[in-house]
Amino acid sequence: MAVGVNGGAVTATVDAARLGAMDELDSGAFGIVYRLRTYSLPGFTNLAYKEFTTSPSAEDIANLTALVEFRSALDARRRAVLDDAAAWPLRLVTRGGLVCGFVMQLIPPEFFGQQLLPSGRTIQLPVKSQWLVVEPAKADAAGIAVPRADDLPARLVLCAKLAHVFGVLHRAGVVYGDLSLNNVMYSAGSPPRVMLVDCDAAQAVGAARIGQAHTDDWTPPECVSGGSAQDAETDRYKLALFILRVLTPGPHASQSVDPTRAVGVLDLEGNSMLSAGVSADRSRRPTAKEWFDYLTRHLTALTGPPQVADVNIDTAAVLAGAMATVSWRTAGAEHVVVTASDGHTVTCDAAAGVGQCRIAVTRTGPFTIRAVNRFGTTTVDTRPVFALQPPTIARVAVPAVTLPPLDFGTRQLAAAMTVVRPAGPDLTALRMPTLPPRGTGPQFADLLGALTTEVGRVADHAIAAAPRPATP
């Protein structure tokens, strides 16, 4: 069904008669998709035509026109990113001057796979990202080739490519809107690829608002009540959900909003970004560029020797045999091996990106930190730690003491040790004054005077009794 465009001629259009022969590929509620056999555009050999089966509004047509012009205005580098990862509207198709559909890139053959239907029949269909989150055994049973659950690099590539194309959209103010596993096709080739479909429902910058849908289990918290229009922040929420679910396949992955599922899959930075990305706080959600930068950095770390950003030891010297704590921060390491100077080693898991261990110090020297993954080993030494020997008590030989022989008997020895006391005053003559009865005697001064007089008398007696030196 064709619809006229108000306000002037449509740019970047092609008349339906010029499309040539075509084959019907699929049909839906809003249009029929045809493969174009002969029509081509620069840079494309496989194109498709989507013809509207319902009447789009003038706002929808204006928005679609803006999407076509948005791509045309991109520089060559960003246009290449968009063309690689999105079946974007390339030309508006008119019939009798009225818009009746648009030309887009046909999903490349590498995105198709033979899929086993419940009836037992196989059919060639684009492979949706939904297969990335189911248990691998289910995908195998359906004949779908998916990266192993533990093939983190391949899954990081898919997420990084999607983040990259969203970065191009958001830089220009374009909001994709209905991001889900059903609207992202993927190829398990080398390298793996993703492709956005249903891009005609994106919201162009400056165009009148169009209604953008939410797929079940993908609605941001602020849109649950239906009162909030979609924007870059809602795209960021859905992008974080896509990353979470693709990196953590298994039971209930397609409905999960729990970022802790990625603990042990991503490092601390990635886990923190996931928590912020699915939070109700719109301002915390990482941008598409931030996701692209992180994912490519993490991917580089995983596909090359690990990086050791920091090592530390909590002491410079300990008593020999005491424990020291070694800590580290790594990127891309599967495990860390800590070796003491005496050769003793401790192996620790490094999935978290940070860690520490305690190890005995028996010999002076540095600790060696080896970060290991399947691509190589990175070795870093700590500063030396001194093993101090505790103080010891040595026995001192004391020579034997030999006493001279005694040539006299016990009685003589006793007599020799007798102390002869020198003569002195006879203190037996000293008499303390008699104290009067309590309450009747003289005062203290009288008693002191009497005592002084008695001491003086005794001293005079002693002087008189002392022997006098001979007179020459």
CATH number where 23 lies: 3.30.200
CA nearest to 115, candidates 139, 135, 134: 139
Same domain? For 247 and 142 the reply is: yes
Please report the pLDDT score of residue 6 as a whole number: 41
Q: Taking the model in full, what pTM does it have? A: 0.67
Which of 54, 77, 106 finishes a domain? Answer: 106
Q: Which residue has the higher pLDDT, 337 or 432?
A: 337
Same domain? For 144 and 213 the reply is: yes
Query: What b/e sequence results for 11-29 when a residue is b if at least 16 CB atoms lie within 10 Å of its CB, and e otherwise?
Result: eebbeeeebeebeeeeeee
Question: Are 309 and 330 in contact, with CB atoms under 8 Å apart?
Answer: yes
Structural domain count, the chain: 3
Q: Give me the percent of the chain exceeding a pLDDT of 70.
A: 83
CATH code where residue 343 lies: 2.60.40.10
- The answer to whether position 450 is within a domain reads no
Q: Which residue has the higher pLDDT, 393 or 348?
A: 348
pLDDT of 22 over the 60 cut = yes
Which of 106, 137, 154 finishes a domain? Answer: 106
Over the chain, what is the mean pLDDT? 85
- The answer to whether position 94 is within a domain reads yes
Same domain? For 68 and 101 the reply is: yes
Same domain? For 156 and 264 the reply is: yes
Same domain? For 91 and 157 the reply is: no
- How does pLDDT run across 29-68, given as a tens digit for each residue? 778 999 999 999 998 989 999 999 888 889 999 999 999 9
In angstroms, the CA 146 to CA 137 distance is: 10
| Peptide bond just before 399 cis, omega within 30 deg | no
- The answer to whether position 458 is within a domain reads no
CA nearest to 342, candidates 313, 319, 362, 325: 362
pLDDT of 409 over the 70 cut = no
Same domain? For 377 and 250 the reply is: no
- How does pLDDT run across 253-277, given as a tens digit for each residue? 999 999 999 998 999 999 999 999 9
- The answer to whether position 263 is within a domain reads yes
Helix (H) or strand (E) holding 380: strand 376-381
- How does pLDDT run across 300-319, given as a tens digit for each residue? 877 778 888 889 999 999 89
Mean pLDDT (whole number) for 407-422:
55
pLDDT of 89 over the 70 cut = yes
Q: Can you point out the beta strands (E) in 80-238?
A: 89-95, 98-105, 112-116, 122-126, 184-187, 193-196
Same domain? For 126 and 206 the reply is: yes
Segments forming the whole domain that contains residue 53: 1-106
- How does pLDDT run across 94-113, given as a tens digit for each residue? 998 899 999 999 999 999 88
Three-class SS state of 387 = strand
CATH code where residue 159 lies: 1.10.510.10
- The answer to whether position 446 is within a domain reads no
pLDDT of 190 over the 90 cut = no
Same domain? For 272 and 201 the reply is: yes
Task: Using alpha carbons only, give the angle 35, 181, 270 rounded to the nearest 5 degrees.
Answer: 135
Same domain? For 285 and 155 the reply is: yes
Q: Which residue has the higher pLDDT, 158 or 429?
A: 158
pLDDT of 10 over the 50 cut = no
Same domain? For 34 and 166 the reply is: no
- The answer to whether position 469 is within a domain reads no
Q: Which residue has the higher pLDDT, 140 or 256?
A: 256
- How does pLDDT run across 352-388, given as a tens digit for each residue? 788 999 999 999 999 999 999 877 899 999 999 998 9
Q: Pull the structure tokens for residue 61.
A: 């047509």
Which of 367, 388, 409 finishes a domain? Answer: 388
pLDDT of 441 over the 60 cut = no
Please report the pLDDT score of residue 123 as a whole number: 80
- The answer to whether position 435 is within a domain reads no
Same domain? For 19 and 140 the reply is: no
In angstroms, the CA 458 to CA 454 distance is: 6
Same domain? For 204 and 64 the reply is: no
- The answer to whether position 27 is within a domain reads yes
SS3 of 308-349: EEEEEECCCEEECCCEEEEEEEEECCCEEEEECCCCCEEEEE
- How does pLDDT run across 216-259, given as a tens digit for each residue? 999 999 998 876 789 999 999 999 999 999 999 988 999 999 99
